Structure 1
Amino acid sequence: MKLNTIKRVGRSDFVNMGPIELRQPIPTQDIEMVDPFILLHHYGPYQIDEDNNPFDLGPHPHRGFEPITFLIQGEQLHRDSLGNESVVKTGDVQWTTAGRGIIHAEGPTKDFVQKGGTLEGIQLWLNLPADKKMIQPNYQHVKNEDFNVIVSKDKKVSIQVIAGSLEGKSGKIATQTSVNAYMIDVEEGGEHQINLQNNHQSLIYLLNGYVTINDEILKKDENQLIEFNQDGDGFSVKGKTKSKLLFLSGMPFNEKVASWGPYVMNNQTEIMEALRDYQMGKMGFLPR
């Protein structure tokens, strides 16, 4: 296997989103986006209880992209204007296609808040190409135990195939564009080589731990993100300690991006139309 060279290494510094402090590896001053991935937030781990629950996001709209949640720890309730309501638990993935417009709300379940616990997850914004920005909205929720998993020869690397495919196993998420998403768990001393599609832009994000990717060290609180060049067949991962990583790759669109708040379109006129359509109720309705 010819290993991909590394284009950029990025940090995952904290930013404030209202009362919530979370890590934002994309976008930063150095990395605007990794087309088609336009935002990556790593929230938590937070200790949630009845006296501390800042992560209860009331109804809000989206248009033009796919907001995705990989829940690492905890329990969240999802509701949306399509009538979906589901409890997302540790290891589950919710993949929302906002398309022409959806209103959703998410936050820790009442039971989880009452008993208290740790909440942690990844919120990813995956762009949609211009010809799919106004498609019908859709919602998918896949449980942790339902994903296909690949285990390395040394039994110390476990790869959950969420979307796309790897080593003959397919993800359970139906995607609008050519995308791969894997959650990778590495034990100390674990080692594996993972194939890449060289027509994709690809990245790997370290949630926790300490690993070597090719010859580059990723360590929490230091460097946590690698963007690869499109010049090889894959990368190697070696665990220095017990670690968890998210791998993402997608076919780039190379289109103009105009974003404002919860909307990601191709120009400012489309943003104004999204604002108007939301005010007129064209994205549906979701009670508090």
Structure 2
Amino acid sequence: MSNLQLIIEERAADIGNFMVGRLLPFRQKRMVGPFIFIDHMGPAHLKANENIDIDMHPHIGLSTLTFLFEGNVFHRDSLGTAREIKSGEVNWMTAGKGVVHTERTPDYLRDKAKTLHGLQIWVALPKEEEECEPSFTHVNAEDLPMWEENGVHFKLIAGEAFGKKSPVPVYSPLYFVEIKSSETKTINIGAHLYGESALYILEGTIKSDGHTYDPKQILVAKDSSLCEFQIEANSTVYLFGGEAFPEERFIEWNFVATDKGLIEKAKQNWTQGKFPMVPSETVRVPLPSPRLK
């Protein structure tokens, strides 16, 4: 019997500056472990003087994980952080009770042709941490655990798995792992996983139970302990998941919470200008108008 519970296809979504592929949330699967939102950005090929400019916007109740395959983004936030992220590095920003940030093309690239390609991920915080003090951590590519088994290359981007721990400071049991292979291999990793588990195919092909799966699909496992698949040559996949929370999470705009009242308060605070602002930034993204029922 197949271990697949659900196959999620990437859906186009407009985030203002360019189109992305929305992966989570999905109507039949709102979360995988603590992972509540995943956007596949690009690859966007930008001409000279075409740039990424995402103005000040707020978050509560989550941590953001930015991981780029290609390109550069400059992050600024209301904590005073000003940091460029390059491919292979990790930006981990915990919003907690509230943080504001911007994302822009670095100044030295604004008049050059460039490509942006990566994942933007939101990880919900445990109930007891959802109003914690905000924080920011940057992890260099060489500081992430990397290893090889039977010709397959692994990288632990966040969390704990395979007896290893990423330096990214997560708040609940989770894992986010890159798996690359230049040869066709059978991978059985169920013994290393826990909680809920899913696999995102970035490039190449995965085969499982006689079926073939292609890029831009998320495969959600019924049982993470039975996670086995064949990865075809020249494929890259991302394995993610972890322990699910006992409480439901609500998500509206950039806000995540266990209580809708926290979201309403955040909306009001943003409208009234009560969130902290980002130094040297002046333009705020307005609160979206309510959707018609």
TM-score (norm 2): 0.87
Is residue 141 of structure 2 the alignment partner of residue 144 of structure 1?
yes
What is residue 260 of structure 2 aligned with on the other side? 268
- Report Cα offsets for 1:66-102 as digits up to 9, x if no partner: 1111111111111111111111111111111110111
Contact 1:70/1:91 (<8 A) preserved: yes
Cα distance, 1:238–1:107 mapped onto 2, change above 3 Å: farther
Contact 1:48/1:113 (<8 A) preserved: no
Greater shift in the superposed pair: 232-241 or 90-99: 232-241
What is residue 243 of structure 1 aligned with on the other side? 235
Is residue 85 of structure 2 the alignment partner of residue 88 of structure 1?
yes
Contact 2:161/2:193 (<8 A) preserved: no
What is residue 43 of structure 1 aligned with on the other side? 41
Aligned-residue CA RMSD in angstroms? 2.2
Q: Which of residues 221, 225, 233 in structure 1 aligns to 2:218?
A: 225
Query: What SS class does the counterpart of residue 114 from structure 1 fall into?
Result: coil
- Report Cα offsets for 1:96-144 as digits up to 9, x if no partner: 1110111111122122333322110111111112211100111111111
Which stretches in structure 1 are left out of the alignment for 5+ residues? none
CA distance in 1, matches of 2:73, 2:27: 31
What is residue 245 of structure 2 aligned with on the other side? 253
Contact 1:214/1:235 (<8 A) preserved: no
Query: What SS class does the counterpart of residue 273 from structure 1 fall into?
Result: helix
CA distance in 2, matches of 1:133, 1:213: 37
Contact 2:160/2:173 (<8 A) preserved: no
What is residue 56 of structure 1 aligned with on the other side? 53
Is residue 167 of structure 2 the alignment partner of residue 167 of structure 1?
no
Deviation, 1:280, is: 5.2
Query: What SS class does the counterpart of residue 197 from structure 2 fall into?
Result: strand
CA distance in 2, matches of 1:127, 1:242: 32
TM-score (norm 1): 0.89
CA distance in 2, matches of 1:173, 1:211: 28
Equivalences for 1:130-209 in 2 at 5 Å?
Answer: 130-153=127-150, 155=151, 157-195=152-190, 199-209=194-204
What is residue 66 of structure 1 aligned with on the other side? 63
Aligned length: 280
Contact 1:152/1:192 (<8 A) preserved: no
Identity over aligned residues, as a percent?
26
Cα distance, 1:36–1:165 mapped onto 2, change above 3 Å: closer
